[in-house]
Structure 1
Amino acid sequence: MIFEEEEKKERTNEKLLIDLCECYLLLNGCASSELISICVPCLLEAALKKDESEETRKEKEIALLALSHIDRHYCLRQELYLKEITEIIKNHQEHRNLTQLAYQSAWSYLICRSYYCKSLEDVVVNELHFIRESIRELEELWKSVDWKRKEEVNGRIEVMIIRRWLNEVYDFFDSSMLWNEEFAGLIGSIVQVFRAAKGNNGVICNLCIYSLRNASEKRVVRVEDLLKSGAIDAVLDEMQRPKLYDNIAYECFQFFMNVSKKLKEKTDNKMEEVKRKATKMETFEKLEEEGYEDTIACFHKIFEFINKKYYDDLSLSISDYLVNI
């Protein structure tokens, strides 16, 4: 039906084609390249409408939500989407003309494209200011939720959008190649969400821990970013819970093993080496103050068990999880 509508010389029912494209992508993110080449321009055009009515806002939301379902493995030609999605994001930043879900969906579509197209990083970070926007959106969203009313939390659309933003931040760190001074703020926003959701929404807390572990293993993220953002405190707090699921324990161990590896990487640059040692001492003092060594020691006997159950890359040597000055 999509092909038939596209082939009509005089398209008398434009909305039908939009509806068909939305339905197809929402049901099947792994669409054929032929259909993608029809659906993407069609839905971007729908999302670019200037009308500010409530009905149009909803149409934009559905169109962008459908686009965000396109699998990240599709390497689309930039001329098929970049100008339009950039304009959509910039228009919202200037006029606030999208819903929160629509705006997040626009970013989701673009971040998925940047996963395999590293040249997009400059557009994402410097032109469209992904880090700044993510921090602001996450703060607005978590503050709008009454986390203590557990019966309402799971049904709130804001919580669903927070989950989607956390996934985008996770993917952003996967694709990022250059360090940015705003990294600490972005990681700090994840910590804020974690603190707000702790004890009230396990799914959000787990996503935060996954994201912090992912950030810790990226070379572009520095230990200073993890210290300044409060990430080290947050992960240690999670490890000290009375009940900790094995998969989350794995993520926490991996986080601290990544921190330890970063602090052991020496450099020939004397200034950088002095800075590394200072960061190492600061990290050591922080962990010592919070009882980190005792926490790690009490988990030591289950490293091998968790490796067998989940992955096979946790070190069985306790010294790999400790900061040695």
Structure 2
Amino acid sequence: MIEKKILSVENAILLLKHIGHFKSLKGISIYNIDTSSLSQKFKEMIIDENEKKKDEKNEKLMIDLCESYLLLNEGIFSESLSICVPCLLKVALNKEEREEVQKEVEMALLALWNTRFIKIEQELYLSEIKEIIQHHQEHHNMTHLAYQSAWDFLINKFYDDKFYKKIVLNKQHQARDESLEEVIVIELHFVKEAKREMEELSKCVDWKRKDDKKVKEKKEMIILMKWLDTINGFFHSCRSWNEDFAGLIRRTVQILRASRCNYGEIHVKCLYMIRRAAEEKIVKIGDLLKGESVDVILEEIQQPTTYNNAMRNCLYFFLEISERLKEKTDNKANEAKRMELKRKIFEKMEEKGYEDTLASLYGEFSLINEGYRNCLPLNISEYFVNI
């Protein structure tokens, strides 16, 4: 359409930015666009515009091109990336609080978020992302989506660095990786910020609606689910314990309870996040207890409408805790703490009638296993009865 002059370049870019914004917000993939002639055309336009002399460059066009290109593509060419990332970080560093500027910052950060699975050297982004996040923490100048996109970009780069380090055992890279973890956990207070953002977003959702109409998906709900995905990535990569873990888990438990009746997708993500927290040893079992995750998983198992995938996550939660509590230690203080945790969890299970619930569900284990390729051991009840 552009080549046939049915649609101007400016209008095409505007249309593609809207499509890319919707695609990124909803987490939709557009297959084969990376190899399309449209993607190639945009890459060429970005490179051509970048090679122009300073006084000949069209800054607005460059921003639009970079945003459209990153929002639509899944795999980004390195040459384009080295141009687009600095360009959009410059947009995101605009600290004005006007609504128009906030929308521009949101679009730029959402486009950068779309590079989350692409390897980018820290020198290209880290100081700028730190400044963006820290300024928002002081002045609250960004939208919820912009702030979440900035964090998700950073957490995914953390995950990428962890994965890359396993393949390339380089001491210099390892030092950078540890430095990035310190930035995320200590300097930028990710856990505290994630808990606060989820609390604010959850206030925007009408959890108690009673009508039978299909729930309309609000932007705040989508951002809330994106935060849950980000937290999952953080737990998977982080190796530094944080005192706010219990509070973050408690906030997730509260959202899980609120979403149980009417918000199935949020409910599923909360349940999965709690299971992942139990899997990752960086989250202490004491954090899980303080965060009320043991209580809520016991509640979930006894729900009359619990579906197989939810049941699987619940059973895995207790399986992970049970396995971790079996690890004895020679340190008397730590061993006493382990036994105390076992006692507390066992008392909760007795109080909730968990063993009776397991007995009533025993016939369903084979059905769950069949649906999930025997991921759960057939003698799973023994893990819990003998905890």
Scaled by the length of structure 2, the TM-score of the pair is 0.80
Letter in 2 for 1:132: K
Match of 2:190 in 1: 130
Task: Give the aligned CA root-mean-square deviation in angstroms.
Answer: 1.6
Match in the other structure for 1:61? 106
Of stretches 190-199 and 205-214 in structure 1, the one that deviates more from structure 2 is 190-199
Look up the equivalent residue of 2:363 and give its one-letter code: K
* Equivalent of 2:366 in 295, 298, 304: 304
The equivalent of 2:268 in structure 1 is 206
Does the CA-based 8 Å contact 1:266-1:273 persist in structure 2?
Answer: yes
Give the superposition deviation at 1:253.
1.0
1:180 paired residue among 223, 239, 242? 242
Q: Which whole-Å deviations, capped at 9, do the CAs of 1:237-293 have from their partners, x for residues lacking one?
A: 111111222111111111110111111111111110001001110110011101111
SS of 2:330 mapped into structure 1: coil
Whole-angstrom CA distance in 2 between matches of 1:52 and 1:159: 24
Q: Distance in 2 between matches of 1:181 and 1:312?
A: 36
Q: What is the CA–CA distance in structure 2 between the aligned matches of 1:189 and 1:47, rounded to whole Å?
A: 29
CA 1:233–1:219: 2 relative to 1, 3 Å: same
5+ residue gaps, structure 1:
none
Aligned pair partner of 1:86 in 118, 130, 142: 130
Match of 2:153 among 91, 109, 126: 109
- Report if the CA contact (8 A) 2:67-2:108 is conserved: yes
Is contact 1:179-1:220 (8 Å) kept? yes
Q: Quick check: 2:49–2:57 contact (8 Å CA) kept in 1?
A: no
Q: Which protein shows a greater Rg? A: 2
Alignment of structure 1 residues 115-264 onto 2, 5 Å: 115-117=159-161, 118-119=177-178, 120-149=180-209, 151=213, 153-264=215-326
Instruction: Please state whether the residue corresponding to 2:160 is helix, strand or coil.
Output: coil
Conserved 8 A contact 2:50-2:57: no
Say if 1:85 and 1:323 are closer, same or farther in 2 by CA, change over 3 A.
farther
Paired with 2:143 and 2:72, the residues of 1 have a C-alpha distance of 22
Question: Unaligned regions of 5+ residues in structure 2, if any?
Answer: 1-44, 162-176
Q: How far did 1:296 drift? A: 2.1
| Structure 1 partner of 2:337 | 275
Give the conservation status (yes or no) of the 8 Å contact 2:129–2:154. yes
* Distance in 1 (alpha carbons) for counterparts of 2:133 and 2:58: 27
Asked if the contact 2:246/2:288 (under 8 Å) is kept, the reply is yes
| Consecutive aligned runs of 4 or more in structure 1 exceeding 4 Å deviation | 150-153
Q: Contact 1:260 / 1:323 at 8 angstroms: preserved in 2?
A: no
The structure 2 residue matched to 1:18, chosen from 63, 66, 84, is 63
Percent identity (aligned): 52
One-letter identity of the residue aligned with 2:98: S
Q: Which is worse superposed, 187-196 or 306-315?
A: 306-315
Q: 1:70 aligns with which of 115, 134, 157?
A: 115
Task: Give the 3-state SS of the residue equivalent to 1:313 in structure 2.
Answer: coil
Q: For the residues of structure 2 that align with 1:15 and 1:152, how far apart are their CA atoms?
A: 40
> 2-side partners of 1:161 and 1:178: how far apart?
26
Q: Distance between the aligned counterparts of 2:71 and 2:258, measured in 1?
A: 31
CA drift at 1:320: 4.4
Name the counterpart of 1:31.
Answer: 76
* CA–CA separation in structure 2 for the residues paired with 1:317 and 1:193: 32
Residues 15 and 137 of structure 1: CA distance in aligned 2, closer, same or farther (over 3 Å): same
Residue 44, structure 1, aligned to residue 89, structure 2: yes
SS of the equivalent of 1:148 reads coil
Contact 1:296 1:321 in 2 (8 A): no
Would you say the 8 A contact 1:142–1:196 is kept in 2?
Answer: no
Alpha-carbon deviations, 1:78-126, whole Å to 9, x = none? 1000000000000100111101110111101001101132421110010
Deviation at 1:319, TM superposition (A): 4.3
Q: Which amino acid aligns with 1:44?
A: L
The aligned length equals: 324
1:166–1:208 Cα contact (<8 Å) kept: yes
